Amino acid sequence: MATVFSHLLLATEHGEFDTGAEALALELARQWALPLDAVLPMVSNAEYEAVAPQASARADAEVSARRQHLQSVATAQSVDLRVTVRRGPEPYAEVVGAARDLGADLVVIRRRGRRGLLANLLVGEMVSKVVAHAPCSVLIAPRGAHLWSRRVLVGLDPLVPDGAILARAAGVAAQCALPLAVLAVVATEAARPQAEQALAAWLQRARALGVAADGAVSVGRPHQALIDHAAAIGADLLVVGRHGGDRLPRAWIGGTAQKVIGLATCPVLVHVDNPNAGNQQP
């Protein structure tokens, strides 16, 4: 199996809420020997800068200091990191733009900052928009996140099969030499036979990729089933699709993904199809 990712982009403001994302990005770059870029998005308003140049200069100095400190942290960990400050009216747009410009196939970002609402239910507004608009997969990290080391769990909808999500999860599990758990979630018991049939096919595909895989079928709300199953089996990385069965347009995150990101205690990888990604299709 080819390398799962080829170019990482860390999106950070280098503040207290970014520690988990930064630790994950640096560890992935070091262990997987991948190039790592970082973008520090900075709100820029030409009108404000014109009427308050001193305040603007102070903001520039603070961002510069954060950039230098982040660079020193990476150097101390023997990671080659290229840090760029991008200015614009919408921070999320600068992160998405950087991912496109650099050809990144994975963005690593925090779950939320100080403005996050409903603590364990919603992700931060900027992060939500990055996940919704990113041209590649996004890894969302809680503040205390660390690199997964036990089990990878992928949630799949039997009614909306997506082999690319399964391949991405299997690729990550294989690269980390970890077992893969597959959870098929349906709304009613009547749908269980179909789910069990789909699950058997998924497990066969995953094992054909060289991954030790097992699975289960759960009846209930998809996000809660994933959270509960992760806790029960000790999974420390969750993999979901951006939209799943929500059938929402590209500008939104599916309800399942949104809730899983907000409730999970471990990192969540949101799969987005990308022509530059290195994973193989099952």
Provide the phi-psi class of 14: left if phi over 0, else alpha when psi is between -120 and 50, else beta: left
Q: Is 102 exposed, middle or buried (0-12, 13-18, 19+ CB in 10 A)?
A: middle
Element (H, E) at 213: strand 213-219
| Position with higher pLDDT, 45 vs 212 | 212
Residue 115 — very low, low, confident or very high, per pLDDT cuts 50/70/90? Answer: very low
- Which pTM does this prediction carry? 0.88
**Helical segments of the chain, H only:** 19-32, 46-51, 53-76, 91-102, 125-133, 163-175, 192-208, 222-233, 255-263
Residue 233 — very low, low, confident or very high, per pLDDT cuts 50/70/90? Answer: very high
Q: Count other Cβ atoms within 10 Å, centred on residue 50.
A: 9
Place of tokens 């066969």: 204
Domain regions of the chain by residue span: 8-141, 152-271
The DSSP 8-state label assigned to residue 121 in this structure reads T
CATH T-level fold of 8-141: Rossmann fold (3.40.50)
Q: CATH second-level architecture of 152-271?
A: 3-Layer(aba) Sandwich (3.40)
| Out of 81-85, 126-130, 156-160, least confident range | 156-160
**Has residue 60 got a pLDDT over 90?**
no
| Out of 14-23, 36-45, 48-57, 209-218, least confident range | 48-57
Give yes or no on whether 8-141 and 152-271 have one common fold: yes
Length of the chain: 282
Phi, psi dihedrals of residue 215, rounded to the nearest 5°? -155, 175
Q: Count other Cβ atoms within 10 Å, centred on residue 219.
A: 15
**Has residue 252 got a pLDDT over 60?**
no
Q: Please state, in angstroms and as integers, the Cα–Cα distance from residue 73 to each residue in 22, 70, 175, following that order.
A: 10, 5, 26
From the DSSP assignment, how many helices (H) and strands (E) are in the chain?
9, 10
Query: Mean pLDDT throughout 81-97?
Result: 94
Q: Are 274 and 105 in contact (CB under 8 A)?
A: yes
Angle between helices 125-133 and 91-102 (to 10 degrees): 30
